[in-house]
Structure 1
Amino acid sequence: MSSLCWNCRGLGNPRSVAALQRWCAFYGPELLFVSETMINKSAAEMLKHGFGYSSAIGVSSVGKAGGLCLFWNEGSTSFNLISFSQHHISGEVVTDAGAKWCFVGVCGWSDSANKHKTWALICKLCNEYNGLVLVGGDFNEILHYEEKEGGADTERRAIPEFREMMDDCNLRDLGYRGLWYTWERGVSVKTKVRERLDRFVGNSSWCNLNPEAHVEHLVRFKSDHTPIMLSLGSARKKKGKRRKRRGFRFETKWLLDEGCVGVVKQA
């Protein structure tokens, strides 16, 4: 089973919709959680067939801020809604093998004065569900200062509160593959800021059941957030018969070619 979470910064943009369609077709996530849709509930849910899903639960944005939607296929994935708010959607997932856990798609409060509400919400949801819990999405905070590059070096009071919540709820960060950051802003070296705000975390019971689970940071597009993809198996399964592409490799001998510099500049 696989899940994809993305703070898309607006599903009213056709380019964002097209990007999600490509990712869903290529990676085939069983669960798709999208935050900051910036559209109403009905408009978000109507996109389900375009993404290849049969079911959806949306939360309307407040004006042009917020908005959530969770997509899944009822035939292959059983999802039973537990609760929702402007900052989360949670429900019980039942796999084909009979395993059950609570999936929580989260979009944390962005302003520092309210970040404690994110940790309180997650604690409440974990305590209410007596079993395996998986939380994914935009937490809007880093877990360690090493997860930040650029910007002012200021104390962030929400970090120790974040860690305390993780300990209290017995949650583990599932790590990642790919670029270390999931959020970026700024256009120059001096103004650029990068942080790891998006992640998947699971409690010990969930991690013990899924020891081969791994997270991949995909290519950032349109939004200032990177989509994150969780796969439970050792090898990620992709839909269709698309051939696996070999990664690009630079040959040092190309530097001896007189046209190399021109080709690189043009690209």
Structure 2
Amino acid sequence: MNLLRWNCWGRGNPRAICILSDLVKVRKLDFLFLSEAISNANKIEALRIKFGFFQYFFVDCVGHSGGLTVFWRHQVKYEIAGYSRNHIDVVFTENNVTSWRLSCFYGFPERQRCSNSWHFIRNLARVSQLSWCIFGDFNGLLYSSDKFGVVPHPQNLLDGFRMVVEDCLLSEIDLVGGKYT
């Protein structure tokens, strides 16, 4: 299955939508997750049609923050297993067998709420015994080298996020593309 996560801070920026539309077509995506998709049902439906997806599920934004959307093709067998302002949990079926789970995650952006995100991830890890993948915008870093800029990221936040990754038996997947994508 070909998956992509896209952060939409552009709030409907036509250039970003064109780039994303090209990515969807070139990469022949089966599933797309948008975080910070500050939008409404009519705009999400228009994107579904533009991108050629069969269906979508979205969690509306609150004010001018948040908003999550997943799109998928008709051949993808899925079930939305849960959702909140911070995640959409999808269980996939392949060959008529429920086989794995994907959590599309958007962490709290405020540093003082990082521990809430970490607690949330730990709880998601306990939800099911299925093979699990979690991706999205964690608003957290594993290593100081992951940060762009000269101001160092606080060590306690690096350590806290690293502990979550270890506690949940997660492993990082290498990025394809620019370093800070």
**TM-score, normalised to structure 2's length?**
0.91
Specify the alignment match of 2:136 in structure 1: 137
Q: What is residue 56 of structure 2 aligned with on the other side?
A: 56
Query: Following TM superposition, by how much is the alpha carbon of 1:96 offset from its aligned partner in structure 2, in angstroms?
Result: 4.6
| Mapping of residues 66-77 of structure 1, within 5 Å | 66-74=66-74, 76-77=75-76
Match of 2:105 in 1: 106
TM-aligned CA deviation for residue 111 of structure 1: 0.8
Cα offsets for 1:55-80 (capped at 9, x unmatched): 10011111221111000013x11110
Aligned partner letter, 2:130: G
Q: Quote the offset at 1:41 in angstroms.
A: 4.0
In 2: Cα distance, 1:27 partner to 1:80 partner: 23
1:7 aligns with 2:7: yes
Q: Which runs of 5+ in 2 are unaligned?
A: none
CA-CA distance at 1:42 after TM superposition: 4.5
Distance (Å, rounded) in 1 between the aligned partners of 2:67 and 2:41: 8
Q: How does 1:111-260 map to 2 (within 5 A)?
A: 111-182=110-181
Change (3 A) 1:130 1:22: same
- Quick check: 1:35–1:66 contact (8 Å CA) kept in 2? yes
Q: State the structure with bigger RCO (CA 8 A, min sep 6), 1 or 2.
A: 1
| Partners of 1:115 and 1:29 in 2: CA distance | 31
Aligned AA for 2:120?
Answer: L
Closer/same/farther in 2, CA of residues 154 and 170 from structure 1, 3 Å limit: closer
Other structure's SS at 1:130 match: coil
Aligned identity (percent) is: 28
Partners of 1:73 and 1:154 lie apart in 2 by: 39
Question: Residue 67 and residue 146 in structure 1: after superposition, are their counterparts in 2 closer, same or farther (change >3 A)?
Answer: same
Q: How many residues align?
A: 181
Check 1:154–1:17 CA distance in 2 against 1; reply closer, same or farther (3 A cut): closer
Aligned residue identity for 2:140: E
2:80 matched to which residue of 1? Answer: 81
How far is 1:98 from its partner? 4.4
**Structure 1 97/114 Cα, relative in aligned 2: closer, same or farther at 3 Å?**
same
Kindly tell me: are residues 10 and 150 of structure 1, through their superposed partners in 2, closer, same or farther at Cα, counting changes over 3 Å? closer
Q: Which amino acid aligns with 2:152?
A: D
Q: Which 5+ residue runs of structure 1 have no aligned equivalent?
A: 183-267
Bigger radius of gyration among the two: 1
